Structure 1
Amino acid sequence: MSIKKRITMRDIASAAGVSQPTVSLVLNGSQSIKLAEATKKKVLDAAQKLGYEHKRASHSKGRPKKIALVINGLNHYDPFIEAVNAAREAAWQQDRVLVTFDYSNDKLLAAQIQNEIEQGEYDGLIYASSMTRALSPNISIDAPTVLLNCYCKDHADLPSILPADKLGAYKVTEHLLAQGYHRIGMICGEKWMDASTDRLNGYRQALINNDIIPDEALVKEGNWSLKEAHQQTLALLDLPNPPEAIFIGSDYMAIGCYQAIAERGLSIPGDIALVSFDNQQVASEFTPGLTSVELPYSDMGRQSVETLIELVNKQPLMSPTIKVEGDVIVRESSVRQ
């Protein structure tokens, strides 16, 4: 099952040219920080134009219902924090408090967290991973459970919320083909990771479906590294028949790609077009702006709560696996001049 993304605060931030925290302050009517009226208007106008609906839930008094979200390692700079924030917001809209636990590979701490959840009258558990992967949850409780950004091969019946990375890669490669680019290179992440293999497979499938045989000489492994992406971009440019466009596996790696192209005195997209994946804020701040597939963490976090509530209410699920699509955000880097 695949679901279409909704308008998020990050979409509004990009449209209004402000940060996501600023959007949150405006939409939630915060009085703690004084914002310029012009900034507020930009945010509200962008929200209205995009059709964003900010729901305010009514909340019961007394002891709150709780949902546990358990994750193995997360820092404040990880883009996956967006999923956690969206889950918290969605839980509160459902009149529930999301309590987040991070056990960071500590088995004793994991055991203590499990004991806390079992004793704490939680409605259910969201078990999350900041990296899309197969795993066996180290914490298990006798309550509804949803997996966020991960899946369990031994328990395929456990609902899993995953990014539709293959589809996103397919769509952004199709975008390049529609622009008239046919010799398309790719710089992927580490090939053992689900995100890398899914994005690589989506790229290849788009080429095959357009009667183009993938050329493995055009595929380089960038290991999610800025430095590696820089070197691999130079390697692609040095080929006897270099690519017309490059699909980079992440916005972070794209920094190295931009640097390499500038070093060679080439222009984007005049000499070579670029697209990427993740649609982090940096994508809109490149010159020229970088076309990128949105990594739908906010929608995934929200969907994990909604799925858990369905389980709590004993509602049947259409499918145990829900893949969330991210839009292709087209900017100047890939539009043929």
Structure 2
Amino acid sequence: MSKNKKVTMSDIAAAAGVSQSTVSLVLNGSNSVKIAEVTKQRVFAAAKELGYTNPKVFHALGRPKKIALVINGLSNLDPFIEAINGAHEEAWKKDFVLVTFNYGHDEELAKKIEAEINNGEYSGVIYASSMTRALEKQQVSSRLPTVLLNCFNHANKDIPSILPADMIGAYRAVQYLIEQGYEHIAHITGESWMLATQYRLEGYRQALIDADIVPSQAYVHEGNWSLKEAYLKTHEMLSLPKPPQAIFCSSDYMAMGCYQAIFERGLNVPKDIAVVGYDDQPIAKESFPALTTVELPYAEMGKQSVDTLCALIDRQPILSLRRKVEGMLIVRDSVKA
């Protein structure tokens, strides 16, 4: 294989005659699945034969250096999985294997994970939250280089954090609606205590104010991230003496409830009323009409968390301790241009 070509897990799997998942488990040093020692040695031999011999990756025992990603809870359908996937890909590009630990709010398990991370085989740790939030305390060991992903720590501001630029995303969504000629723009929010809700509401209001449009409380309704609540709140707003011309929803999922209420009224999207969502989930592209939305840049956030951690490991300067990653406005068919 050419020295200029990046060696991948697929290359190693093909050379060793095993599955890609087996390669991942072996290079992770995972003990969750029992793998024959002869198979492990075949994987290590194939990796070295293909030129994957970076000393940063292999210990004296032939095991890779690792980065830990610790998360406090995640479901299979959680869009935050994209951040973890992005982190895994970037770590592999940088000759690290990223190992994910999910302690699901179990503090005893969290302590065991911390002990595992501090056993000398990890170069750094990414502490992640599927929900944007402030940490009440430092929940991971500070003995290793540490980056916070989708969370931040008021108590220790020296720990770099990677966050979504939710306020800017919401601002762009509403600004786009204003540019298309809409003035009476409503907003269906998530749960009011959540930072994502607060930032998106702030972006919505600021875009209106900058366009000399006075925000109306009659057009702001809490939808609790629920399709049903969004459906009910849309019906309420459509019954107002002056119903909105457009509705900005804090999630694509809520936008689907919005669609349903609009169609039940015999109205058309976008001919009679425009709808914009947030997150750019698969349902946004597959809905009819296809939903204009704002990308939630989880994959890029995951990659940047690894980049930042690698800079800390290499003792390089960090340009920003709190980096906010912007998502693109994706224009589709739910807004009349």
TM-score with structure 2 setting the length: 0.82
Aligned partners of 2:217 and 2:197: how far apart in 1? 15
Q: Secondary structure at the match of 2:118?
A: helix
Residue deviations 1:97-128 (CA, integer Å, cap 9, x gap):
10111111111111111111101421101000
| 1:65 alignment partner in structure 2 | 65
Counterpart amino acid of residue 69 in structure 1: L
Counterpart amino acid of residue 203 in structure 1: Y
Determine if the alignment matches structure 1 residue 93 to structure 2 residue 93. Answer: yes
Counterpart amino acid of residue 275 in structure 2: L
Counterpart amino acid of residue 123 in structure 1: S
Contact preservation (8 Å) 2:151, 2:163: yes
Aligned partners of 1:117 and 1:310: how far apart in 2? 19
| 1:154 alignment partner in structure 2 | 155
Aligned partners of 1:120 and 1:335: how far apart in 2? 57
Q: Secondary structure at the match of 1:277?
A: coil
**Cα offset for 1:137?**
3.4
| 1:201 alignment partner in structure 2 | 202
**Cα offset for 1:319?**
1.2
Residue deviations 1:198-231 (CA, integer Å, cap 9, x gap):
0000000000001111111100000000110000
Higher relative contact order (CA 8 A, sep 6+): 1
Determine if the alignment matches structure 1 residue 184 to structure 2 residue 185. Answer: yes
Matches within 5 A, 1:258-277: 258-277=259-278
Contact preservation (8 Å) 2:271, 2:336: no
Aligned partners of 1:138 and 1:132: how far apart in 2? 15
**Cα offset for 1:58?**
5.4
Q: Secondary structure at the match of 1:333?
A: coil
| 1:234 alignment partner in structure 2 | 235
Residue deviations 1:5-36 (CA, integer Å, cap 9, x gap):
xxxxxxxxxxxxxxxxxxxxxxx79998xxxx
Aligned partners of 1:262 and 1:298: how far apart in 2? 34
The structure having more radius of gyration, on CA atoms, is 2
**Cα offset for 1:138?**
2.1
Aligned partners of 1:58 and 1:271: how far apart in 2? 59
Aligned partners of 1:328 and 1:217: how far apart in 2? 26
Aligned partners of 1:141 and 1:193: how far apart in 2? 27
**Cα offset for 1:75?**
1.4
Counterpart amino acid of residue 320 in structure 1: L
Q: Secondary structure at the match of 1:84?
A: helix
| 1:322 alignment partner in structure 2 | 323
Aligned partners of 2:146 and 2:53: how far apart in 1? 24
TM-score with structure 1 setting the length: 0.82
Aligned partners of 1:243 and 1:137: how far apart in 2? 44
Q: Secondary structure at the match of 2:70?
A: strand
| 2:293 alignment partner in structure 1 | 292
Contact preservation (8 Å) 1:118, 1:141: no
User: How many residues are matched?
Assistant: 286
Matches within 5 A, 1:130-145: 130-135=130-135, 136-145=137-146
Aligned partners of 2:239 and 2:149: how far apart in 1? 41
**Cα offset for 1:243?**
0.5
Determine if the alignment matches structure 1 residue 104 to structure 2 residue 108. Answer: no
Contact preservation (8 Å) 1:68, 1:101: yes
Contact preservation (8 Å) 1:127, 1:137: no
Aligned partners of 1:322 and 1:276: how far apart in 2? 24
Aligned partners of 2:67 and 2:160: how far apart in 1? 16
Residue deviations 1:255-278 (CA, integer Å, cap 9, x gap):
111110110000000000010100
Residues 155/141 of structure 1: CA separation in 2 closer, same or farther (3 Å cut): closer
Contact preservation (8 Å) 2:301, 2:325: yes
Counterpart amino acid of residue 126 in structure 1: I
Aligned partners of 1:278 and 1:70: how far apart in 2? 23
Contact preservation (8 Å) 1:114, 1:141: no
Structure 1: runs of 5+ lacking an equivalent: 1-27, 33-56
Q: Percent identity?
A: 58
Aligned partners of 2:149 and 2:52: how far apart in 1? 26
Aligned partners of 1:220 and 1:189: how far apart in 2? 9
